[in-house]
Amino acid sequence: MAALALERVTKAFGTRAVIRETSLELAAGEKLALIGPSGCGKSTLLRMILGLVVPDSGTVRVGDVVVSASSARAVRRRVGYVIQDGGLFPHLTAEENVTLVSRLNGRDGAALRARVSELAELAGLPEALLSRFPHALSGGERQRVGLMRALMLDPDVLLLDEPLGALDPIVRARLQEDLRDAFRKLEKSVLLVTHDMAEAAYLADSIAVMRDGAIVQRGTMKDLVDAPAHPFVAEFVGAQRTLTEALR
Amino acid sequence: MKQALVTALLVLMSLAVTRTASAKDGATMRVGSKRFVESYILAEMVAQLAREGGASVEHDQGLGGTAVVFRAIEDGSIDVYPEYTGTLAAATVKTGASDLAALRAALAPRGLAISDPLGFENTYALAVSRSVATKLGLTKVSDLVGHPDLRVAMSHEFLGRRDGWPGLAERYGLAFAAPPKAIDHALAYEAISRGESDVIDVYTTDAKIGRFDLVVLADDRRFFPPYDAVLVYRADLPARVPAFAKVLERLRGAIDATSMQKMNARAELDGVPFARVAADFLAKRAGSAGDRVGLLAGTLDVVKRHGPRHLMLVAVSLAMSIAVGVPLGILAYARRRVGAAVLGLAGVVQTIPSLALFCFFIPLFGIGPVPALAALFVYGLLPIVRNTHAGLVSIPADLRDSAIAIGLSPSERLRHVELPLASRTILAGIKTSAVVAVGSATIAAFIGAGGFGEPISTGLSLNDVTMIMEGAIPAAAMALLVEGAFVVIERAVVPRGLRESREV
């Protein structure tokens, strides 16, 4: 059974079609990068999975549950969500951000504390920073806390919406490494939205290229480079300048 | 902590209610007065005499105009107040008859009684300067007929009233070369003393008649209806408060027009407190003019006497505004269409002048602190509703989405994410309401609710700037203190992470 399935979903905002009939499946443990230019609908697709956007037609399934108004809350607790800059609540400390939902569900004490330590190590966050408020953390640290919060309830699926988009190259590179390590350890299904080809190739098993609300091609990086299904794919892949090219 | 606050507020509210109800239980006698000097002095006499007789007395000074005070005695909020027979006939009883027997018969079914006349009349009259009176031999209105060259200056109201100048001129056949000039009543005395006019209209007990040495012309053809000073009281009062029966006896025919004129002059022109003026008259003392306390001492006294009431008005109304305003703001945020309606309505209410708003609540709650609280409550709503709504709406979309995405229910989101994030803006709205309430509560005195507005309204009617300041200074100080208090409250209410992040 697929960890995640979108079946022929569509979405229009007013008269503008944002998602044209699109289907996408993610196997358990699979890591897929969703890539494409700004405004191609990749974030909208991600938000559909969480029930933040309701599709005009088609169905969204997480595990065996069809996402609907009534099931959305249960689904959200099985899906971890990380956005650019972490989406942390400024009035809570890093630890409070991570544990908010657990505490509201009555979990407390040593077990909770141990889980936070475990996640801090996994996300590469020094435990001393847990008592800080988000404004006192660097961009990279906030992102690590965001990852911890997403993983807190041990979800089956992890959704990341341009999680490293706002970071400088050095921090970004380090976080990419740490994310890859974490993904390997966790063996969770991951759907990563990015517009950076190198990041996509580095973090994911396969890549889906989106354009104008539809997926144009899905395959490994090698597939996309060697056999682009569409001139746009060739153009998009080719547009990512390599360092060697720049030095030439 | 929160519970203690709620309990304290409930106690305050119940105190406010019991205080208004106290006139009805018979333990206390409540004296009312209208908002002018003579009414204050007469009411003060009644209060002092009753107190001497052992009764527990409260004096609600300057409740308002005739309509407000008469309503207050009808519903039992006060037990007795000074009135004039002509006013009763024209404004309240409306029978047309103005003799005492007819008035008493008209008021009896309402449970009200009228005392015997106090001895003087306060009616319209014409006055001329002493020199003109002597030169032309003027003593009564009909003497004016032979002197068409006299210059007449009348107040706007007197010129316009059917029972004023038009009727008077017709009854006496008065005609002057120059038509009467309309002039502000307060300026008429200046005009006659500087010789710019010869005849003006006055009230027979005007403080300035003696000061400017005017001669009041007798109404020899009985044009003006009698305006005998009397006391209107609840019919059961003499039985309920035995001391009051003695007051009635003591004041029967006790005050002549000249004495009243002099008392008005002492209070109005010399600035002697009217309680003192009343006490001096009762003790048959002539009294001296200058015995005012200083501004500082007066202000401290005002703080002691009116501060607790003012604070109660602000605290209770603000608590109610918060209790209703914050949920309304949340509703406006959660339901966009309801929100537009709520914000629109609250905005409209805010455009109502505050005095008018206070008066709206009189038919519902009578006079006193209850309608004042209602008005202050309504007045305090808008800033709180608007800021609650604004604070919630301005939460960044990614944070709102994050709260949803981590699986919080709507109520959990509100309580743990949205309200804390909006807390600074909500608190700013509450602060605005609090400061506005401190100011608006000064107007509450005009409907008999007490507070710092009491010396202000009394000072206005006495044209006494010092007395106005004695009320205005503590009100301004309280507004500043409230501002300061909110700095502390913000530390307690706004989450630390938010405060620090704004400082960065």
Q: Do B402 and A89 touch (CB under 8 A)?
A: yes
Half-sphere exposure in the Cβ direction for B389 (13 Å, CA): 24
Q: Do B405 and A50 touch (CB under 8 A)?
A: yes
Which residue reads 């022929």 in tokens? A8
CATH code of the region A1-78+159-248: 3.40.50.300
Query: What percentage of chain B exceeds 70 in pLDDT?
Result: 89
CA distance B417 to chain A (A): 7
Helix (H, G, I), strand (E, B) or coil at B164: coil
Region label for B450, one of left (φ > 0), alpha (ψ between -120 and 50) or beta (otherwise) = left
From first to last of its 248 residues, chain A has per-residue pLDDT tens of 788 999 999 999 888 889 999 999 999 999 999 998 888 888 899 999 999 999 999 999 998 899 988 898 889 989 999 988 888 999 999 999 999 999 998 887 888 999 999 999 989 999 999 999 999 999 899 999 999 999 998 899 999 998 888 788 888 888 999 899 888 888 889 999 988 888 888 999 999 999 999 999 999 888 888 888 888 888 888 776 565 665 65
Answer whether B409 touches A (CB < 8 Å): yes
pLDDT at site A241? 59
List, as ranges, residues 118-157 from A with C-beta within 8 Å of B: 133-136, 149, 153
Backbone phi and psi for residue B442, each to the nearest 5 degrees, phi listed first: -65, -25
CA distance A23 to chain B (A): 22
Count CB atoms within 10 A of the CB of residue B270. Answer: 15
CA distance A157 to chain B (A): 13
Pairs of residues, one from chain A and one from chain B, whose beta carbons lie less than 8 Å apart: 73
Tell me if A60 sits within 8 A of A39, measured CB to CB: no
Q: Which chain B residues are closer than 8 Å to A83 by Cβ?
A: 398, 401-402
Which residue reads 């005998």 in tokens? B228
Q: Which chain B residues are closer than 8 Å to A73 by Cβ?
A: 407, 409
pLDDT at site B291? 44
Backbone phi and psi for residue B403, each to the nearest 5 degrees, phi listed first: -65, -40
Q: pLDDT: is B64 or B56 the higher one? A: B56
Answer whether B411 touches A (CB < 8 Å): no
Q: Sketch out chain B's domains with CATH numbers.
A: 23-119+227-286 (3.40.190.10), 124-217 (3.40.190.120), 295-503 (1.10.3720.10)
Residue B395 reports pLDDT greater than 90:
yes
Closest chain B CA to residue A147: B406
* Candidate from B398, B409, B498 with C-beta closest to A73: B409
Helix (H, G, I), strand (E, B) or coil at B488: helix
Q: Is A77 exposed, middle or buried (0-12, 13-18, 19+ CB in 10 A)?
A: middle
pLDDT at site B94? 64
Which amino acid would we find at residue B210?
G
Which residue reads 């501004």 in tokens? B295
Closest chain B CA to residue A47: B405
Tell me if B370 sits within 8 A of B16, measured CB to CB: yes
* Candidate from A83, A84, A93 with C-beta closest to B497: A93
CA distance B318 to chain A (A): 26
* Measured distance CA(B47)–CA(B275) in Å, rounded: 9
- CB-based contacts of A188: which residues, under 8 Å, 6+ apart? A29, A80, A155, A156, A157, A158
Mean pLDDT of B45-64: 85
pLDDT at site B193? 81
Tell me if A117 sits within 8 A of A67, measured CB to CB: no
Q: pLDDT: is B294 or B251 the higher one? A: B251
Take residue B210 and report the two structure tokens written for it. Answer: 């003696």
pLDDT at site A190? 94
Take residue B212 and report the two structure tokens written for it. Answer: 């400017």
- CB-based contacts of B166: which residues, under 8 Å, 6+ apart? B159
Residue A60's DSSP bridge partners are A6
Band (pLDDT 50/70/90 cuts) for residue B462 is low
pLDDT at site B477? 95
Take residue A127 and report the two structure tokens written for it. Answer: 């435990």
Q: Do B497 and A90 touch (CB under 8 A)?
A: yes
Answer whether B421 touches A (CB < 8 Å): yes
pLDDT at site B288? 39
Q: Do B412 and A104 touch (CB under 8 A)?
A: yes
Q: Do B402 and A81 touch (CB under 8 A)?
A: yes
Tell me if B416 sits within 8 A of A100, measured CB to CB: yes
Answer whether A87 touches B (CB < 8 Å): yes
Tell me if B357 sits within 8 A of B366, measured CB to CB: no
pLDDT at site A244? 60
Q: Which chain B residues are closer than 8 Å to A50 by Cβ?
A: 404-405
Band (pLDDT 50/70/90 cuts) for residue B300 is confident
Summarised one tens digit per residue, pLDDT across range B434-459 is 999 999 999 888 777 888 988 887 77
pLDDT at site B95? 62
Q: pLDDT: is B319 or B450 the higher one? A: B319
Summarised one tens digit per residue, pLDDT across range B268-289 is 877 788 888 888 888 775 443 3
Band (pLDDT 50/70/90 cuts) for residue B19 is very low
Residue B203 reports pLDDT greater than 90:
no
Band (pLDDT 50/70/90 cuts) for residue B249 is confident
Band (pLDDT 50/70/90 cuts) for residue B502 is low
Summarised one tens digit per residue, pLDDT across range B359-368 is 788 778 877 7
Residue B479 reports pLDDT greater than 70:
yes
- CB-based contacts of B349: which residues, under 8 Å, 6+ apart? B357, B378, B379, B381, B382
CA dihedral sign, ordered B151, B152, B153, B159: negative
Closest chain B CA to residue A74: B407
Q: What is the 3-state secondary structure (H, E, C) of chain A?
A: CCCEEEEEEEEEECCEEEEEEEEEEECCCCEEEEECCCCCCHHHHHHHHCCCCCCCEEEEEECCEECCCCCHHHHHCCEEEEEHHHHCCCCCCHHHHHHHHHHHCCCCHHHHHHHHHHHHHHHCCCHHHHHCCHHHCCHHHHHHHHHHHHHCCCCCEEEEECCCCCCCHHHHHHHHHHHHHHHHHHCCEEEEEECCHHHHHHHCCEEEEEECCEEEEEECHHHHHHCCCCHHHHHHHHCCCCHHHHHC
* Measured distance CA(B362)–CA(A27) in Å, rounded: 72
CA distance A92 to chain B (A): 6
Q: Which chain B residues are closer than 8 Å to A136 by Cβ?
A: 500
Band (pLDDT 50/70/90 cuts) for residue B9 is very low
* Measured distance CA(A41)–CA(A209) in Å, rounded: 11
Answer whether B504 touches A (CB < 8 Å): yes
**Which range is most confident: A190-194, B95-99, B216-220?**
A190-194
Half-sphere exposure in the Cβ direction for B430 (13 Å, CA): 28
Q: Do A89 and B496 touch (CB under 8 A)?
A: no
Which residue reads 């316009």 in tokens? B160
Mean pLDDT of B238-267: 88
CA distance A232 to chain B (A): 31
Q: What is the rounded average pLDDT for all residues in chain B?
A: 84
List, as ranges, residues 463-502 from B with C-beta within 8 Å of A: 495-498, 500-501
Q: Do A87 and B402 touch (CB under 8 A)?
A: yes
Tell me if B118 sits within 8 A of B252, measured CB to CB: yes
Q: Which chain B residues are closer than 8 Å to A93 by Cβ?
A: 497
CA distance B383 to chain A (A): 24
What is the four-CA torsion angle of B16, B17, B18, B19, rounded to 10 degrees? 50
In chain A, domain spans = 1-78+159-248, 88-154
- CB-based contacts of A81: which residues, under 8 Å, 6+ apart? A50, A87, A150, A159, A160, A161, B402, B405, B406
pLDDT at site B16? 44
Which amino acid would we find at residue A166?
A
- CB-based contacts of B112: which residues, under 8 Å, 6+ apart? B73, B74, B232, B233, B234, B235
pLDDT at site B293? 60
Q: What is the C-alpha R_g of chain B?
A: 28
Answer whether A54 touches B (CB < 8 Å): no
Band (pLDDT 50/70/90 cuts) for residue B20 is very low
* Candidate from B402, B403, B497 with C-beta closest to A135: B497
